[in-house]
Amino acid sequence: MRSPDGRRAPDLADTEAGLLARAQAGDVAAFERLSSAYADRLFMLLLRLLGDRAEAEDVAQEVMLRAWQGITRFRGQSSYFTWLYRIAVNEANRALEKRARRPAGVAIGADELQLPAPAYLDPSRQAESSELRRALGRALADLPPPLRTALVLRDIEGLSTQEAAEIAGVGEAAFKSRLHQARLRVRAAMGDEALASSGG
């Protein structure tokens, strides 16, 4: 079937709503297709929150299992993405709590939090950018989890305050308070000179 402008109309079963309906009816393949669209982003979020690739892989599996087990309870009050991200933040927090209870808690790996500089930068700017990213990664790694979550969701992921607060499971005012605290701490850790010279 074609729409009036001549393009093929998407098959309803392939849209997010269609996949969701099928997943809620017990179709695991539909659930996997639906969730695959967000899998890379979700995994990246877990890497940023946990700072450990093996743990992020483990938690990502748990997030998908929890989402599958709870899919019939999803009522569409938020987007599917927001709902899935909320589960991811909860599971990451659970993993961090477990880590904190271990006698010799594994420190968050700052290296996991910083990423390669974009390829379009020239080599000298890439080196500068990499150093800034490393410093930012270290500062992020030192933040308490609720503050790190706020900064990751709002500043790194670029979500709106409303959506980020919903995912973090707090009201907007509380979320903003965490975000401002996180930025103040990161600023203090990095130093104004390093930040100002980054040219942002």
Partner 1 sequence: MRVPGRTDDHEWSQQHLSHYVEGDLRPRARRRLDRHARDCADCGRGIRAMRALVYAAHGLGGLAGVRAPDTIFDRIRSAGAG
Q: Does residue 192 bind partner 1 (CB under 8 A)?
A: yes
Q: Does residue 162 bind partner 1 (CB under 8 A)?
A: no
From 7-15, 84-92, 99-107, 185-193, span contacting partner 1 (CB under 8 A): 185-193
Strand partners, 8: 2
Question: Among 24, 90, 130, 198, which residue sits at the site for partner 1 (rule: CB under 8 A)?
Answer: 198
Region 79-98 residues binding partner 1, contact defined as CB under 8 A: none
From 1-9, 35-43, 75-83, 102-110, span contacting partner 1 (CB under 8 A): 35-43
Per-residue HEC secondary structure of 101-158 comes to HCCCCCCCCHHHHCCCCCCCCCHHHHHHHHHHHHHHHHHHHCCCHHHHHHHHHHHHCC
- b/e sequence 48-61, b meaning 16+ C-beta within 10 Å: bbbbbeebbeebbe
- State which residue, 68 or 74, has the beta carbon closest to partner 1: 68
Task: Please state the closest distance from residue 133 (CB atom) to partner 1, in A.
Answer: 6
Q: Does residue 174 bind partner 1 (CB under 8 A)?
A: no
- From residue 101 to residue 130, the character string flagging contacts with partner 1 as x (rule: CB under 8 A) and all else as - is -------------xxx-x----------x-
Burial class (CB in 10 A: 0-12, 13-18, 19+), 33: middle
Q: Does residue 12 bind partner 1 (CB under 8 A)?
A: no
Residue 139's contacts (CB-CB under 8 Å, 6 or more residues apart) are 185, 186, 189, 190
Q: Does residue 195 bind partner 1 (CB under 8 A)?
A: yes
Q: Does residue 37 bind partner 1 (CB under 8 A)?
A: no
Q: How far apart are CA 22 and CA 20, in angstroms?
A: 5
Question: Among 18, 21, 24, 62, which residue sits at the site for partner 1 (rule: CB under 8 A)?
Answer: 62
Q: How far apart are CA 62 and CA 135, in angstroms?
A: 30
**Chain position carrying tokens 């919903």:** 166
Residue 185 vs residues 118, 161, 171, 192: alpha-carbon distances, Å: 26, 19, 21, 12
Chain residues in the site for partner 1 (CB under 8 A): 28, 31-32, 35, 39-44, 47, 57, 60-62, 64-65, 68, 114-116, 118, 129, 132-133, 136, 151, 155-158, 176, 179-180, 183-184, 186-187, 190, 192, 195-196, 198-200
